[in-house]
Structure 1
């Protein structure tokens, strides 16, 4: 059999390499008999390269592109904000960090990476979770590079706030977990599913994707199953009826779950806005699988450092402290929940910095800062200082541009000769055409414009108005790019009560 010419074979190998990289395919797929058969059927003339050759192409591509990226960062980038753990968007690199993952090791690695890519002087913000090692690592970086500041992940901070809120309702958490456990067996799950099918249309959608709301939606079906089991005469059903009755939430507990939704609703709304994929469809009600709720109602001790080895121990101790055989005392619980939330919010956001509000005032949707009236004056002063510095920097850049030289013409035999008729007068042009930056205050004009609707993309707005606000647009490009979160997909933390550990991926 004749194969492709070398040039075409190389082109196909490059496409194959692109597929391996873009879809994160393991190189072992190239040795799969089924994959080889597929390629043969699609293109019999193509010779599948061995994994070593693909590795070589990847190394060559990396060595070719890296200096180009560094050059582009040097020429086109003025300000850089980074995240650690964010798997979406632009990933600079996946970097190994020596064990143990102390603040010193993390900080040294980050500093080395910034120097390697020429970003130390351009980086002004790094967003991470609230882990004490990550927090200290960035704080130490601030000493080595004064321009770098630390931004806590808003999603993780909200998680810590709501986990504080679980203390007054840990009895309810335990009771709900016990009810969920009852339906973990295939027999009970199938019984519940059978009842659901009697009442739910096949294409109907759940009104909520949050587990507490789903549990409330299942309440009617669970109650129906309880009544049906009570009417059965066989011993097996009678035993299951007694077990279900024992673990069933009381009416007060069901009501408390519903009341908690209204108290904690703003947290769900906030995480929904922060989430990177807000348009993800809700689960089909028919697929509200009870297994999805298995780990939802497990007590989770609030830990600032997710690497703390005592997390599991603390979790078990809290669960043991709850007497599940005693009904929960509902009186005053809602007030305790509200007070705990309020105190936690004050604690985790007690040290506000200018970075918290500068992106907001540069966002044309919320620039009036109606949500933070006491911070307006301080934020305005901070923005004015940065505006003046940016204006001075841009003016200095313009003044350092080369001075126009007289235009010369070349005539035969005589050589280059200055032409007074072609000289363009530039010395006094500034008086005829004064620079807009020197005669107008962009900041006042920007603040005088009404806010735009919240559903409009602020980056698109600044792109359209870049010529009108050249200085502010540069500031907006920097500060609006600061990520509020360091996580790729935000869980509805308050609604899940999950004990899943907060994983780190150490990515920039």
Structure 2
């Protein structure tokens, strides 16, 4: 217990002394009796009040300050006690907030709606807030999720409404646990602050035949629901199937095949082109499959790894539809080479790899590594159409170089190069690619391999910038002060270097293609384009959007054109990622979800992070 402030003015000769000595006048003042149980400070306080007025005022102030710092514990009234036991009304702010957080937990963490019926979960909520009444599964499905869906739709609609150019991806997915197919539509754009934005517009059930006509009609309806005019759609990324291409052609919008899918086809051609490599891969699959399906065999392999002071690691099985998984399988086999050799000395395997096959796998791994690196690069969330031409240029150069280590895989390497040349023969002549590449300050005109396609690309860029100037003139008047302060705008410095293993190839091509003399220019569009192209490229590790944000006052029409072209991804990976989410939403635990509820949950799962802080 804290001591009274009165003891600042009194001393005790002994702890149980019946009197206290005044520090001011040395008088002995009774403590209230001779027994310890009767001791108090009343007489001491009266002594100060009667004989020492100044010290008494100090005592009163110290006591008041002490009381103000001490929280007062007030006993609940009977009414307050009754109310604390009453349930929160469902319409109360606190109950609504808890329900909202509950639904966010279900949506963001891929929880089944039945979690609201789980005993342990109900007990947890009862403990955290006894007054809260957990809503029924039906109420969450029919009321809360649709309300939250509509709120997010309203926010997203306002964002999309103010966008001048938007790019989309689409794909079709079929569930393995329920008779449901879905058609996706994802959006990507650059906002006024030069930030890349992504959102999911639809993951709608797609019933019936997957013909081009039906796909076209479904996407047209989706665009209509979001009030997205076709003129605002810059490009739609799709897979390479004929029905998808036909649908986009009928829709009347520009579309491109998924760049990553094309890389997949190229690598498959290379892997199948050389019989010796195919045979080595087949044996590798048998070895990995043996350990995959035999816990005893894997336990023995793990014991050998421990004996060799190696960290226990599993072999990786490849998936035929994903070529990079084949590369990962090869790398895991090479990493276990010593372990597998020790294993075969004591136990049988369904297949073995000869010394020559081990060498082929190691060489194949080296050849495929650039494809894997480029696949990861173009599948990144920040990748755009501008990356395609430089990536193709680098792949051609890597594959065309002959090395002494190519012995045994020359056919495979040659097939890969032929496939790259054949499948990407027209990328430089496609304006969507060429203009995007020219507008990326990391690449500009340095990665074009054909002078004619470069000339056509620049002409297309000039035409786009000219059109953009007309648009800007109709929307806002250019301030006279812009031209006066343009030269003072800070430019990005070329700091840092790329961490890519192929960075030296990019730099090599960059150095070979030096800036050409600036031709005679007459129009504002030409001035902006030639000024921009004559300047040094920024490092590949820098952000092109940040460049355009900084240089927008200096190159306004060019920056606006860049916003339109660089907003487009080069793959349909966003739709594939969406369907990874769909497979988590529609799974064995939630295979009875209606298509409407499933779409709302997928929509919220992907878009809530844009709204929830």
TM-score (norm 2): 0.58
Are the counterparts in 1 of residues 167 and 235 from structure 2 also a CA contact under 8 Å? yes
Which residue of 1 is the match for residue 410 of structure 2?
335
Deviates more, 1:41-50 or 1:24-33: 24-33
User: What CA distance in whole angstroms lies between the structure 1 residues aligned with 2:202 and 2:433?
Assistant: 27
Q: Is 2:204 the partner of 1:99?
A: no
Return the match for 1:39 from 115, 125, 135. 125
Partner of 2:337: 219
Match among 288, 301, 305 for residue 180 of structure 1: 288
- Give distance in 1, aligned partners of 2:241 and 2:351: 37
Matching of residue 58 in structure 1 with residue 145 in structure 2 = yes
Indicate the residue corresponding to 2:242 in structure 1: 132
Task: Give the 5 Å matches for 1:83-482.
Answer: 83-85=169-171, 89-119=198-228, 120-142=230-252, 148-167=253-272, 168=274, 169-184=277-292, 185-200=294-309, 202=311, 210-227=328-345, 229=346, 240=347, 243-244=348-349, 247-276=351-380, 334-352=409-427, 353-370=430-447, 372-374=449-451, 375-398=453-476, 441-482=527-568
Superposition deviation, residue 17 in structure 1 = 2.6
What CA deviation, in whole Å up to 9, does each residue of 1:339-377 have, x standing for no partner? 321232233223331112222111111113335354322
2:255 aligns to what SS in structure 1? strand
The answer on whether the counterparts of 2:441 and 2:537 sit within 8 Å (CA) in structure 1 is yes
Q: Is the 8 A contact 1:139 1:149 kept in 2?
A: yes
1:61 and 1:222, CA in 2 relative to 1: closer, same or farther beyond 3 A?
closer
8 A contact 2:170–2:575 mirrored in 1: no
- Runs of 4+ aligned residues of structure 1 deviating over 6 Å after TM superposition are 203-206, 429-437, 505-508
Contact 1:368 / 1:451 at 8 angstroms: preserved in 2?
Answer: no
SS of 1:247's equivalent in the other structure is coil
For residues 63 and 216 of structure 1, do their structure 2 counterparts lie closer, same or farther at Cα, with a shift above 3 Å needed? closer
Secondary structure of the structure 2 residue equivalent to 1:94:
strand
How far is 1:201 from its partner?
Answer: 5.2
Instruction: Give yes or no for the alignment of 1:27 onto 2:102.
Output: no
Shift of 1:392: 1.6
* Coordinate RMSD, CA, aligned: 3.5
The structure-2 alpha-carbon separation of the partners of 1:93 and 1:344, relative to structure 1 and needing over 3 Å to count, comes to: same
- C-alpha distance in structure 1 between counterparts of 2:546 and 2:426, whole Å: 32
For structure 1, the 5+ residue unaligned runs are 143-147, 230-239, 279-330, 402-428, 492-504
Deviation at 1:489, TM superposition (A): 9.8
Shift in CA distance, 490/189, structure 1 to aligned 2, threshold 3 Å: farther
Name the SS for the 2:125 alignment partner: helix
Paired positions, count: 395
- What is the deviation of 1:379? 1.3
Seen in structure 2, the aligned counterparts of structure 1 residues 391 and 203 have a Cα distance that, compared at 3 Å, is: farther
Structure with larger Rg: 2
TM-score for the superposition, normalised by structure 1: 0.70
Contact 2:435 2:457 in 1 (8 A): yes
Quote the offset at 1:434 in angstroms.
Answer: 8.7
Distance 1:490 1:59 in 2: 25
Report deviation, 1:78: 0.5
1:266-298: CA deviations, max 9, x gaps? Answer: 1011012124389xxxxxxxxxxxxxxxxxxxx
Greater RCO, CA 8 A, separation 6+: 1
**Contact 1:275/1:490, CA 8 A, preserved across alignment:** no
The answer as to whether partners of 2:262 and 2:423 remain within 8 angstroms in 1 is yes
Shift of 1:216: 0.8
Change (3 A) 1:254 1:466: same
Instruction: Please tell me whether the aligned partners of residues 482 and 553 of structure 2 are also in contact (alpha carbons under 8 angstroms).
Output: no
In 1, the alpha carbon distance for the partners of 2:525 and 2:374 equals: 41
Do 1:130 and 1:156's aligned partners in 2 also have CA atoms closer than 8 Å?
yes
